[in-house]
Chain A
Amino acid sequence: MDFSFSEEQTLLRNTIQSFIQDNYDFDKRREIIQSEEGMSKDNWKQLAELGLLGVPFSENDGGLEFSSVETMIVAEEFGKGLVVEPYIQTVVTCGGFLRRASEAQRQEHLPRLISGDEIWAFAYAEPQGRFNLADIKVSASKSGDDYTLNGDKCVVSAAPWAQKLIVSARTSGDQSDKEGISLFIVDKANDGVSTRDYKTVDGSMASEVSFENVKLNSSSLIGEEGNAHALIELVADETIAALCAEAIGAMSVLNETTVEYCKTRKQFGQPIGKFQVLQHRMVDMFMQYEQSVSMTYMVNLKLEEEDIERSKAASGAKVQICNAAKFIGQSAVQLHGGMGMTDELNVGHYFKRLSMIETQLGNADHHLKKYSLAS
């Protein structure tokens, strides 16, 4: 057993840290999220040049063929920097589907993804579906070799920036059957695809996406028709593992900032960090963080295991991260007093991002239940 990082992994971490230092201080981030575009295309290009968009892909596909530990490092550092560029959406989630797609699909799509020319978003959530990845009404009906896609997806993260979408759709079965779900690659420019784009509370962007008689041919089908559910679960778990890493990055900044603030802010003639009730709160924040780091390592090391083990690991980690995100976010604001409530300070922005990670791909309740069903 070994929890240490290799020299290469530390180097990777340093590379990202200096990227963030140079390009992503808090004011620059503010400019980016307030711009019309909502993200920085320059940053995206730089991430491509650093090779980061190729982290999980095989060398054959033009990637770095790194493990989930490297993805975890990237996501954690992005979490520290509150990076809004859609790394997880494009590389981890959509990349997760694509690296398991056919040779032809990989050749067609991966070069442009890895080079930073195309951003990808995964359209899975539906208004009635909450966190159930199999509760799908969007339908793809087949005639001959072609499919026709109809229906609505909601809160599709990163879709405003994306050129390509991966869409989960029902090709057979009832609304929440696990069988009968298929995955399609959809060009956002296709006839019949329309989006309503908006900013999200955590500084990112998302869309409501509608499909109206969108024509797809069979080359856009990922894997076998009707059999996508297991793959969706797998990639969702990989995404959760990356989100956990992003979350611990954000938590670590909040904890450090809060401790530092409590050492310097004086009331009643002493640093407020001298008040024991605040000390204990910060100790609890610290313990929550450490527990979250442990669960994040655990899930990232278990992604290769069998479905049930992996799924338990992901759900367990997500429960820990949700609870810690809430406690650390709320506590950081509280200990900063009025300052914690301001838009000017970074504290509120980390709190908001952590709050959104709580709901992304299922909140604590959802994963507690999933965990207990798997046990």
Chain B
Amino acid sequence: MDLNFTKADQDFRNEVREFIEENFSSEINAGQNIEKYHEVTSDQMKEGILSWHKTLYKKGWIAPHWPVEYGGIDWSITQRYIWDQECANAGTTPLIPFGLTMLGPVIIAFGNDHQKDWVLKGILSGDDWWCQGYSEPGAGSDLASLRTKAERDGDHYVVNGHKIWTTLAQYADWMFCLVRTSNEGKPQEGISFLLIDMNTPGIEVKPIITVDGGHEVNEVFLEDVRVPVENLVGEENMGWTIAKFLLGNERTGIAGVARSKKAIDKLKDIANSELNNGEPLMKDSSFNKKITELEVDLTALEYTELRTLAKESQGQGPGVESSILKIKGTEIQQKISELTLEAIGNYASPYITPLSVRNFGSNYLEVGPEHTQGVSQNYFGMRKTSIYGGSNEIQRNIIAKMVLGL
């Protein structure tokens, strides 16, 4: 056990910091920068997100967590930790996880050689934008009850069904999709994992507007969509095994420790500039206590994550620990958004329309100090984090069953 950074680690930090400073521009890459998101159109958003992705791709730093032979890097966990921290500090555009964190490791573990070639290449380069087609109107927490079906017809599967909550499907070139290929046995036993080209005839993507006014999720309707058999990952009917493997990875990514640290710093800045009876709000003992508690909570999560990463680096894949990271990570993110809302007092109220949904109505005007922009919307939007990726109730069920043996 050792908590110190070596000289080599320090050098690495400097290298990373320098690289980010030279290559990340918040103007070009403002797509996901929360404070600025309302100033960006949806096309610019896609471009912005991808531009940082492409910069990292060129540098060879796009997929640190992948094995080297597939384009990853053999960074130690300390280096990965440093990398996350530096990215968060600089406020770099978060990378879209569907290809890099979710599908990539799946293909590496279950894909055939052909898939390993084209899928991984497209993910790394950013040329292929992937979305996740798991949930359906009737199959949310009970994912295994999904009904979108794929029937074999010669060299193709013919897919019919309805996916929902598909994040950023409006930009996607491809969707990895869970489909039903059999009704025999337990529901889990008849599911397959298919890669579907979003340009195939029969696919329709419809926006869902969320409480924060944003357009992030969609419904995807599939009608007689023909998918080549070679786009099946693994064997037919082994989709559930793959799906669970993927969810484990998804949850790890969700902890977001470094970004939460940064968000707490920002919250402190806000609390220092907001006045309460003529004094900075930060000096208010009850508000100060809430921030401090949050910071302590985050520190605990940070070390829980580091312990998980350390295990992983010894070859033990993400296990049920990932459920702890997901629950605590999202609860902390939600609490930060809640306290930030509380900090800005009366300026919680103005509605700032995200530009990506301006065509859905309402006009746009900036009101109040800059640090108040979009804070309410962020608070409302953050409620999603305890629902998606397996709700926090489901995560607790998993721990109860798998860890505590209940």
* Chain A residues packing against B (C-beta within 8 Å): 34, 125, 127-132, 135, 154-155, 157, 175-176, 196, 198-202, 206, 208, 266-269, 272, 275, 277-278, 326, 330, 333-334, 337-338, 340-344, 348-349, 351-352, 355-356, 359, 363, 365, 368-369
In the complex, the answer to whether B387 meets A198 with C-beta atoms within 8 Å is no
A267→B383 CA distance, assembly (Å): 21
Instruction: Tell whether B384 is near chain A: CB-to-CB under 8 Å.
Output: yes
Name the residue among A176, A269, A365 with the largest chain B CB count within 10 angstroms. A365
Take A131-B345, A132-B277, A337-B140 as given contacts and tell me if A200 and B351 are in contact as well, using a CB distance cutoff of 8 Å.
Answer: yes
Q: Which residues of B contact A198 (CB under 8 A)?
A: 350-351, 365, 367
The 10 A-B pairs with the shortest beta carbon distances in the complex, nearest first, are A348-B211, A267-B142, A343-B209, A155-B346, A200-B349, A199-B351, A268-B142, A201-B351, A130-B345, A201-B376
In the complex, the answer to whether A344 meets B350 with C-beta atoms within 8 Å is no
A330→B368 CA distance, assembly (Å): 26
A46→B362 CA distance, assembly (Å): 26
In the complex, the answer to whether A365 meets B284 with C-beta atoms within 8 Å is yes
Q: Which of B208, B392, B393 contacts A342 (CB 8 A)?
A: B208
A148→B289 CA distance, assembly (Å): 43
Q: Which of B211, B284, B342, B386 contacts A351 (CB 8 A)?
A: B211
Q: Which of A175, A202, A330, A342 contacts B209 (CB 8 A)?
A: A342
Q: Which of A128, A337, A348 contacts B380 (CB 8 A)?
A: A348
Q: Which residues of A contact B217 (CB under 8 A)?
A: 338, 341
Take A128-B275, A132-B277, A267-B142 as given contacts and tell me if A359 and B349 are in contact as well, using a CB distance cutoff of 8 Å.
Answer: yes
A and B contact pairs by CB, cutoff 8 A, 5 listed: A130-B277, A155-B347, A277-B393, A330-B383, A334-B383
In the complex, the answer to whether A341 meets B350 with C-beta atoms within 8 Å is no
Nearest-Cβ distance from residue B247 to partner chain A, whole angstroms? 16
Quick one: CB contact mask for B251-268 with A, threshold 8 Å, 1 for yes? 000000000000000000
Take A176-B278, A277-B393 as given contacts and tell me if A337 and B387 are in contact as well, using a CB distance cutoff of 8 Å.
Answer: yes
Take A267-B141, A338-B165 as given contacts and tell me if A344 and B209 are in contact as well, using a CB distance cutoff of 8 Å.
Answer: yes
Q: Which residues of A contact B345 (CB under 8 A)?
A: 130-131, 359, 363
Q: Which of A196, A200, A341, A355 contacts B210 (CB 8 A)?
A: A341
Instruction: Tell whether B213 is near chain A: CB-to-CB under 8 Å.
Output: yes
Q: Which residues of B contact A368 (CB under 8 A)?
A: 286
In the complex, the answer to whether B350 meets A155 with C-beta atoms within 8 Å is yes
Instruction: Tell whether B164 is near chain A: CB-to-CB under 8 Å.
Output: yes
In the complex, the answer to whether B278 meets A175 with C-beta atoms within 8 Å is yes
Which residue of chain B is the closest to A336 with respect to CB atoms? B387
Which B residues between 361 and 393 are near A, CB-CB below 8 angstroms? 361-363, 365, 367-369, 376-377, 379-380, 383-384, 386-388, 391-393
In the complex, the answer to whether B209 meets A125 with C-beta atoms within 8 Å is no
A267→B143 CA distance, assembly (Å): 9
Q: Which of B135, B141, B350 contacts A201 (CB 8 A)?
A: B350
A192→B386 CA distance, assembly (Å): 49
Additional pairs, 7, CB under 8 Å, beyond known A131-B346, A201-B351, A365-B286: A127-B369, A154-B346, A196-B365, A198-B367, A269-B142, A341-B387, A342-B210
Which residue of chain A is the closest to B144 with respect to CB atoms? A268
Which residue of chain A is the closest to B165 with respect to CB atoms? A338
Instruction: Tell whether B348 is near chain A: CB-to-CB under 8 Å.
Output: yes
A348→B387 CA distance, assembly (Å): 14
Q: Which residues of B contact A343 (CB under 8 A)?
A: 209-211, 213
In the complex, the answer to whether B350 meets A334 with C-beta atoms within 8 Å is no
Instruction: Tell whether B274 is near chain A: CB-to-CB under 8 Å.
Output: yes
A198→B350 CA distance, assembly (Å): 7
Which residue of chain B is the closest to A208 with respect to CB atoms? B367
Q: Which residues of B contact A344 (CB under 8 A)?
A: 208-209
Q: Which of B135, B349, B351, B380 contacts A338 (CB 8 A)?
A: B135
Take A208-B367, A330-B383 as given contacts and tell me if A201 and B349 are in contact as well, using a CB distance cutoff of 8 Å.
Answer: yes
Q: Which residues of B contact A352 (CB under 8 A)?
A: 211, 376, 380
A278→B393 CA distance, assembly (Å): 9
A154→B369 CA distance, assembly (Å): 11
Nearest-Cβ distance from residue A209 to partner chain B, whole angstroms? 12
Nearest-Cβ distance from residue A181 to partner chain B, whole angstroms? 15
Quick one: CB contact mask for B122-146 with A, threshold 8 Å, 1 for yes? 0000000000000100101110010
Instruction: Tell whether B311 is near chain A: CB-to-CB under 8 Å.
Output: no
Q: Which residues of B contact A132 (CB under 8 A)?
A: 276-277
Nearest-Cβ distance from residue B351 to partner chain A, whole angstroms? 5
In the complex, the answer to whether B347 meets A355 with C-beta atoms within 8 Å is no
Take A176-B278, A196-B365, A201-B377 as given contacts and tell me if A340 and B383 are in contact as well, using a CB distance cutoff of 8 Å.
Answer: yes
Which residue of chain A is the closest to B210 with respect to CB atoms? A341
Which B residues between 178 and 224 are near A, CB-CB below 8 angstroms? 208-211, 213, 217
Which B residues between 92 and 148 are near A, CB-CB below 8 angstroms? 135, 138, 140-142, 145
A202→B213 CA distance, assembly (Å): 11
In the complex, the answer to whether A196 meets B367 with C-beta atoms within 8 Å is yes
A202→B210 CA distance, assembly (Å): 14
Instruction: Tell whether B75 is near chain A: CB-to-CB under 8 Å.
Output: no
Nearest-Cβ distance from residue B37 to partner chain A, whole angstroms? 15
Instruction: Tell whether B287 is near chain A: CB-to-CB under 8 Å.
Output: yes
Which B residues between 334 and 350 are near A, CB-CB below 8 angstroms? 338, 341-342, 345-350
Instruction: Tell whether B283 is near chain A: CB-to-CB under 8 Å.
Output: no
Nearest-Cβ distance from residue B374 to partner chain A, whole angstroms? 10
Which residue of chain A is the closest to B349 with respect to CB atoms? A200
Which residue of chain B is the closest to A275 with respect to CB atoms? B393
In the complex, the answer to whether B383 meets A155 with C-beta atoms within 8 Å is no
Nearest-Cβ distance from residue A124 to partner chain B, whole angstroms? 10
Take A275-B393, A356-B348 as given contacts and tell me if A154 and B368 are in contact as well, using a CB distance cutoff of 8 Å.
Answer: yes
Instruction: Tell whether B152 is near chain A: CB-to-CB under 8 Å.
Output: no
Take A128-B275, A334-B386 as given contacts and tell me if A200 and B165 are in contact as well, using a CB distance cutoff of 8 Å.
Answer: no
Q: Which residues of A contact B58 (CB under 8 A)?
A: none
Q: Which residues of B contact A129 (CB under 8 A)?
A: 275
Which residue of chain B is the closest to A359 with respect to CB atoms? B348
In the complex, the answer to whether A355 meets B379 with C-beta atoms within 8 Å is yes
Q: Which residues of B contact A356 (CB under 8 A)?
A: 348-349
A337→B141 CA distance, assembly (Å): 9
Q: Which residues of B contact A351 (CB under 8 A)?
A: 211, 380, 383
Take A130-B274, A154-B347, A278-B393 as given contacts and tell me if A338 and B211 are in contact as well, using a CB distance cutoff of 8 Å.
Answer: no
Nearest-Cβ distance from residue B355 to partner chain A, whole angstroms? 15
In the complex, the answer to whether B284 meets A34 with C-beta atoms within 8 Å is no
Name the residue among B209, B346, B351 with the largest chain A CB count within 10 angstroms. B346
In the complex, the answer to whether A334 meets B387 with C-beta atoms within 8 Å is yes
Nearest-Cβ distance from residue B378 to partner chain A, whole angstroms? 11
In the complex, the answer to whether B211 meets A342 with C-beta atoms within 8 Å is yes
In the complex, the answer to whether B348 meets A355 with C-beta atoms within 8 Å is yes
In the complex, the answer to whether B342 meets A363 with C-beta atoms within 8 Å is yes
Nearest-Cβ distance from residue B171 to partner chain A, whole angstroms? 19
Instruction: Tell whether B307 is near chain A: CB-to-CB under 8 Å.
Output: no
In the complex, the answer to whether B365 meets A355 with C-beta atoms within 8 Å is no
Nearest-Cβ distance from residue B387 to partner chain A, whole angstroms? 6
Nearest-Cβ distance from residue B353 to partner chain A, whole angstroms? 8
Nearest-Cβ distance from residue B115 to partner chain A, whole angstroms? 30
